[in-house]
Amino acid sequence: MLLSIALILIVGLCLGFIFAKFNLPSLIGMLLAGILLGPSGFSLLDVKLISISQEIRDLALIIILLRAGLGISKETLKKIGKTAFKLSFIPGLLEGGALFLLAKYLFKLSWQAAGMLAFIIAAVSPAVIVPSMLQLIEKKLGKDKEVPTLVLASASIDDVFAITIFSIFLGIFKSGEVSITNSLIQIPFKIIGGIGLGLIIAYLLNLFFEKYSNLELSYQTIVLIVTAILTTVIGDYFKVASLLGVMTIGYLLLEKNKKLATNLSLALNKLWIPAKVFLFVLIGAAVKVEIALNAGWLSILLIFLGLIARSIGVLIATHNSYLNLKERTFCVIAYLPKATVQAAIGAVPLANGVPSGELILALAVMSIILTAPLGAVGIDYFAPQLLSQNKDYKLECQLE
């Protein structure tokens, strides 16, 4: 396993560096590293490491969501609130609905299988979006209207909707009797429950940090990460939006102790470097290219038509908002990438005996291959053109 860890870090960092040199997002190089090292490539990773790859990816995602939460202030939330709420469900529902109809028409799937496929693919990827948005926040791009924060805040809730609706279709397939109304009613409770859990744990964590204020920063960081992991475990047990709870911990700590939050954010920045490599390399390793190729050209058509529906949803959600046309266009681009949910639950229908399970997995994999690089490159290339940059940051760059 040690050799596998070394290979992930060496190959992931090298390919990430090479792609960055060509002005392409480093995460694409890391995804490629995962494909080359994983079962679809040279199969160089230890099966024991592959078996716990989901847990490792979850840990990396927790670190980046904590970073995101530590950068969201109350004033920012007030500015983005209404638009973020609309962005969190309108694009996903439009894309999911379009994919549902397309799957039934193009692939002749049963309505249960079509529903599962639609809302596996409809979920956006926090693993791609959140790091990209944090980079833009650091560069002060879109700072005046908090556009990156708007995208990263709404993306995590988007996943709650998609996964919940997917679970409805899976439940109907397995038992034949699921109350759709009750399941949909659970969505706001999951969101509120996740935020509530995060607030409670963050309040207790803040009391701990106040009592042990002399604790070294390294220990404070470990306590924060362990607490976030426990939040995820508790949230999953009670079936609430645990990842939203993790972001909420960072948010409340920033409100209660700005100096501590800043120090913790800087510490997490350093941890994110190896965590990022593991996250994207292991997502790449989970991609089964040979399965995706079997889906054929119709799969590409379905995915891109779904993205068009999502893009229309983003434009509807941001209509009559405080954003101008360029910023709304950027939100469309930022909402393209898929990877996290598709890698995590793409194989669930197949494991549960859904007749079209292999096709669903193939389409989920294809959506990662097509949209993760497309979205990452789009964000990286178009952000400087579509988002305004803070004047102070421009001056700093000129002085350097």
Q: How far apart are CA 175 and CA 156, in angstroms?
A: 29
**Any idea which of 157-166, 286-295, 296-305 has the lowest mean pLDDT?**
286-295
Tell me how crowded residue 149 is: count the other CB atoms within 10 A of its CB. 24
Q: What residues pair up with 141 in beta bridges, in sequence order?
A: 389
Beta strand spans in 34-91 (E): none
Domain boundaries, the chain: 52-399
Rounded to the nearest angstrom, the gap between the alpha carbon of residue 264 and the centroid of all alpha carbons in its chain is 21
- Give residue-wise pLDDT tens across range 329-387: 999 999 999 987 888 788 889 888 998 888 898 898 889 889 999 999 999 999 999 99
Tell me the helices (H) and strands (E) count for the chain, helix number first: 20, 0
Residues 264 and 224 sit within 8 Å (Cβ to Cβ): yes
Q: Hey, what amino acid is at 242? A: S
Whether pLDDT at 392 is above 80:
no
Share of the chain above pLDDT 90, in %: 58
Cα-Cα-Cα-Cα torsion 185, 187, 192, 195, nearest 10 degrees, comes to: 170
Q: Token pair of 148, please? A: 């990156």
Collapse the DSSP code of 248 into the 3-class scheme (helix H, G, I; strand E, B; otherwise coil) and give the result.
helix
Q: Hey, what amino acid is at 302? A: L
Whether pLDDT at 395 is above 60:
no
Using alpha carbons, list the distances in angstroms from residue 352 to 173, 264, 345. 9, 42, 11
Residues comprising the chain, all counted: 400
What angle, 0 to 180 degrees and rounded to 10, lies between the N-to-C axes of helices 90-106 and 111-121?
A: 140
**CATH node for 52-399:** 1.20.1530.20
pLDDT band at 102 (very low <50, low <70, confident <90, very high): very high
- Give residue-wise pLDDT tens across range 110-165: 988 999 999 999 999 888 999 999 999 999 999 889 999 999 889 878 988 898 88
pLDDT band at 398 (very low <50, low <70, confident <90, very high): very low
pLDDT band at 393 (very low <50, low <70, confident <90, very high): very low
More confident residue, 53 or 207: 207
Stretch 103-109: mean pLDDT: 91
pLDDT at 344: 79
C-alpha Rg value of the chain to the nearest Å: 20
pLDDT at 178: 59
Beta strand spans in the chain (E): none
Q: Token pair of 269, please? A: 């920045």
Q: What is the mean pLDDT of the chain?
A: 89
Q: How far apart are CA 134 and CA 269, in angstroms?
A: 10
More confident residue, 19 or 171: 19
Using alpha carbons, list the distances in angstroms from residue 168 to 111, 137, 319, 346, 394. 12, 36, 30, 15, 49
Residues 364 and 287 sit within 8 Å (Cβ to Cβ): no
**Computed from CA positions of residues 195, 212, 257, 70, in that sequence, does the dihedral angle turn out positive or negative?**
negative
Q: How far apart are CA 284 and CA 325, in angstroms?
A: 34
Q: Token pair of 18, please? A: 């090479």
- Give residue-wise pLDDT tens across range 174-231: 876 656 677 777 778 888 999 999 999 999 999 999 999 899 999 999 999 999 999 9
pLDDT at 42: 93
Long-range contacts of 173-180 (CB under 8 A, 24+ apart): 173/112, 173/113, 173/116, 173/349, 173/352, 173/354, 174/352
Q: Token pair of 297, please? A: 């050209």
pLDDT at 160: 84
